[in-house]
Structure 1
Amino acid sequence: MAERARDGRSTRWDPHRRERRLAIITAAITAIEEHGPDALTGQIAQYAGVPRTHVYRHFDGKRALDLAVSAHVANELGTRIRHALGTRGSPRQIIGASVEAHLAWIEEHPNLYRFLAQHAYAVPAKDASTADAKSVFAAELTALVQHYLRLLGAATAPAERVMVGVVGMVDASAAWWLEHRDVPRSELTEALSTQVWLIIENMGSTLGLELDADMALPD
């Protein structure tokens, strides 16, 4: 009976703990946006409205907090990319919309992007609940390409490997652009969209498909 009472009291506080964790994650995001990817714990605590010593009562150290922030941000970016990939139209329009969404987010949140880049390889592969931004983009794009390959009666096996390479190319170009801004965003979007299509077109050719960037796709 006493054990059940203790369990009940502990469970009763779960919503409060989740709210506090989310508040600290949100505060960390604000601190990173304002102070850069190496924002200090004290700055995070200030935005969260808690003493500095309270930050790690809800996380098992700095790395755990960094991973939680990365997962939260990657999920938000994934939602934006998923919406862009839901664009109806030709392959050219869908690719352009997704690349534009990716670059627009980076332009809006440069320090968050730099933070994600720092932690891109820190996420345990076995932990499906966390992901870096590139993994999110690759997963969304792979799912879409596999969907259309199935509708076209083609093998889907090469899609994941090819899309991971596509996202790596887009991400590397975006990282360069963020630091140098050598061309307008619209120009980079067009250039990357063309490059992505050429890779997809080549993949289709190896699968025996004749693809057209402006063809009408099935819903």
Structure 2
Amino acid sequence: MSSPKSAPRAEVTDGRSQRWNGHKAERRDRILNAAITAIREAGVDVGVKEIAERANVPRSVVYRLFGDRDDLDEQVRTRIISELMTRLTPVLEPEGTVGAAVTRAVDTYIGWIVTNPHLHQFLASGSTKKSVGGSRSVSNARTAVAVQTTQLLAAAMARADGADDIAEPLAFALVGMVDSAVNRWLSRGMRPVSAEALSHSLQRWILHTITVAMADIGVEVRAQTPVTELFGSATEPR
């Protein structure tokens, strides 16, 4: 026959477990914030010791909560990407003219990089493990942007009664071009051109590429083309 006191004892145990889980979550959050602050200020080579000191926890706690440095780094990347996508996602929705939409997206991205060069370098640095494909978080973010771009291009092509089978490769080509150009530019200390010049060039290349792709299906697109003329109601997910 079970004791009636067993239920309260279980409740006490559950309460302690919840408090401990909350304590661990708070520490993890503090460590991640400390890591991002340290990278933003000191660069990508910041050590676990400095991160632990900034978070006001022993270094052993960092490894206990994250397992190893790669686990910590990947979760830091996830948080950095979340910050970047909060800025970038809204401006990927087309408004005004095609040229203005491209300018807004590229300027927002380059602007974030100029403000947070070390964070972007950290994203580009990948994992210390020799895994194929690098950081999963970074790869997923690139894919998310490319998929959203694909939907926009496919909507414009479908509205023009053209084949939209090139929308996906075109979108991934555009994202890859921007990513490669920016990473190389950062690796050279934001040289040989200024941020403004790089942004302007990327905008022109993107517009020219889209113009050629749309011309192939008989649609004329210019920087002054209103996005409502190009997309209409077809920008809604299909």
TM over 0.5: yes
Verify: 1:170 aligned to 2:178, yes or no.
Answer: yes
Verify: 1:99 aligned to 2:136, yes or no.
Answer: no
Distance 1:150 1:50, change over 3 A: farther
> Deviation of residue 8 (structure 1)?
5.5
Structure 2 match to 1:145: 153
Answer yes or no: is the 8 Å Cα contact 1:81–1:102 preserved in 2.
Answer: yes
Structure 2 match to 1:210: 220
**Residue identity in the other structure for 2:135:** V
Structure 1 match to 2:236: none
Verify: 1:161 aligned to 2:169, yes or no.
Answer: yes
Quote the Cα distance in structure 1 between the aligned partners of 2:56 and 2:147. 36
Structure 2 residue aligned with 1:76, among 83, 91, 94?
Answer: 83
Pairing of 1:39-50 with structure 2 (within 5 A): 39-50=46-57
Structure 1 match to 2:134: 122
Structure 2 match to 1:29: 36
Runs of 5+ consecutive residues of structure 1 not aligned to the other structure: 125-129
Greater Cα offset, 89-98 or 113-122:
113-122
Structure 2 residue aligned with 1:195, among 202, 205, 225?
Answer: 205
Quote the Cα distance in structure 1 between the aligned partners of 2:67 and 2:158. 43
Quote the Cα distance in structure 1 between the aligned partners of 2:81 and 2:104. 18
Quote the Cα distance in structure 2 between the aligned partners of 1:9 and 1:153. 62
Percent identity between the two aligned chains: 33
**RMSD, matched Cα:** 2.6
TM-score, normalization by structure 2: 0.78
Distance 1:143 1:38, change over 3 A: farther
TM-score, normalization by structure 1: 0.83
Aligned length: 214
Distance 1:182 1:208, change over 3 A: same
Quote the Cα distance in structure 2 between the aligned partners of 1:147 and 1:7. 52
**Residue identity in the other structure for 2:46:** A
Runs of 5+ consecutive residues of structure 2 not aligned to the other structure: 1-5, 128-132, 233-238
1:6-35 Cα distance to aligned partner (Å, 9 max, x none): 555434444433332221111111111122
Distance 1:122 1:10, change over 3 A: farther
Answer yes or no: is the 8 Å Cα contact 1:74–1:136 preserved in 2.
Answer: no
Greater Cα offset, 102-111 or 173-182:
173-182
